[in-house]
Structure 1
Amino acid sequence: MGMNAVFPPSPESLARIAKSSDADVLSRTIIAPHLNRGRGAQSNQTSKFEPYSREAVDDGWGNLEALESVKTNVRDEKSKSIITKNDSPDIHFDRSINPYRGCEHGCVYCFARPTHTYLGHSAGLDFERELYAKTNAADRLYEAWLNKKYSVKPIAIGTNTDPYQPIERDKKIMRALLEKFVAHKHPITITTKSSLIVRDLDLLTELAKQNLVHVTMSITSLDHILSRKLEPRASSPARRLEAVELLTAAGIPVSVAVAPIIPAINDAEIEKILAAASANGASGAAMIMLRLPGEVRQLFREWLLRHYPDRLRHVLNLVRDVRQGRENDPRFHSRMAGQGPYAFSLQRRFDLALERYGLKKRLPHLRTDLFTPPKVEDPQLSLF
């Protein structure tokens, strides 16, 4: 059986979906479950920038090649630069670092998936298995700081792909970056959904002592089964909460992101997640509504078809309800929160829970005055 073997939904599911406007979901080739264990995407459509598309079919010769093809492949990449700048009004930082391209966590809803198509890969399964490690990230960061025009502001890490995804255990790129931040006393913010972050408690503690670091732990659900479906290779909810507790105990300011909130899937858990976050020492929290940009729209519909076919119409109708009739609203100031009665009710519940569990504290302002830039080795002798 080829890699993209079609997974047939049950007759009941077919009947329900056939009546909906989402029947075109079935036109996609969905990978069979036994060939796709531990992955979030259900298909691997060719990049939209490629001149030809490929579609595997059942040739009757077994599935050994298909099983081999879903393994994770990691390529070392030498980056020309490492700091990315942005001017979006929806986020609190203007510069970021992403040590990896692609992410093995496999979050089906990840808004970074479409970026993989620029590399000639699929935003689906390829995003989770064709990974790039920026092995010279620490050196490029050091070079950026050598520039006399460099202005110090907090650098955000983990805003696109997770810096503590499984391959970080071997690559240790994030740890190398942290060593630079500690040595030169530069402020940093980290977002992750991995308990691997506690490996670097020693470096994070040094930064926290000088008010140079914030950590945000993303927790989408406390339900282990749902978490495995949404984020198959991310740390379990219990491990993430344990990481929050350990980080807080070490004096590191931690907030929790309830992100994304998916209508009729995890929206009932808002209060539970915030209660657990508070109990484990988190100081603050934020929420983000589900976004479905580009290829993520179809990937998420396929995920619903696989795991919650009976809710497919209901979930997508609610998504459209908060996005003014569309499944994605790219406009600034609304894309993160959504609009309409349903979005308002979720925000109201979230705000009340923040009050109830004491999560409205402001994280301390990160210092920028401690930065010590690298010394430039100048071969020219001084006159004095």
Structure 2
Amino acid sequence: MMTRAPAVNRIPADFIRPFSDSLALSLTRAFLASADGMMSVASPAERLRHDPVALDIVTKSQVTIPTLPGTPAVAATQVHVLGALLGTDSMLPAVLPNATVAPFGQAASMFVPGYSRDGSAVGFSKAGSPFAPVQRDLSLGYTLTAGRRCGFISVFTREAMFSELFVRRQITGDIGAGIDTLMLSTNAADDATGTPAGLRNTVNAIGATAGGGEAAMTADLSAIGAAVAKVGGGNVLYVASPKEFIKIRARLPLFKLPLVASSGLADGVILCMAPVALAISSADRPLRIEVSDQAVLHMDTSPTALTTAGTPPASAFPERSMFQTDCKALKLVADDLDWGWRTIAGNCIAWVTGVTW
């Protein structure tokens, strides 16, 4: 009589090393545990016993927040989780500490009052005399809209799923490049897809300084910084394309203002922003994680329905079957993600293109 061999936990040894504080590592483990669950009888609690954060992510991606006791171990909103996950793969972690970040809760929209720096009303007053109020129009600001979903699907071969480092770097690299490209674009809002306007939309570029060299570099950095300082004061953030980031760090080692690299900017582009004037919101429930080894995907940047009725019927091309090609599709979705500037007056972002240095 033949007996069935016991199930083998195929999680690699480096997957169960002692718990790490890295949320990126924990999220990767959550992805891999979800995928491994298709072929292992081990429970998530057993597979992730060394990483409670990863177990928390897996659990909360499968059930709703109200069913879970206690305080979530992950950050308050999905955008905070993304910021912690991405690290140096995105400008988002540098923006979040000073931006206005709030969850929608059950609201369909949220009005964030405008921001400006006005010290004209600050003064002394004798006892019994009134202080002057700041004359600010509270009706001005920015309305964040719920219902916008941002996500991606990444396909891995079954063999690649067992390389934790590869999966982690691929996930953070894809998300970081995608979020930065969307946030820093010059595109208007797209109601068809629910995409918010890019932060550079309607903001004209400042002309680059001619002549090249460190003098031109300093002049360009000063020009965009001065344009934003009226709103942000000393609380400004420089974002440069990777090529220009390396140049600035190499040629101006004493440049002490915050500077990050972003693949969301083309070569020759640098910008300066006032994060304090930025409003960002997202859902206060966990990121959604789904894994499939059965799905059929339209492998296109503008996917359509797999089949469309007609004479003759149309089929999307190219397609990939996860089952037939022995691959797995990992999907991550952030719900209710929106952003926008909430300044009443003044510039909150300035950028220059075509630098000569």
Which structure has the bigger radius of gyration? 2
TM-score (norm 1): 0.23
TM-score (norm 2): 0.24
Query: Using CA pairs below 8 Å that are at least 6 residues apart, which structure has the higher relative contact order?
Result: 2
**Greater strand fraction, Structure 1 or Structure 2:** 2
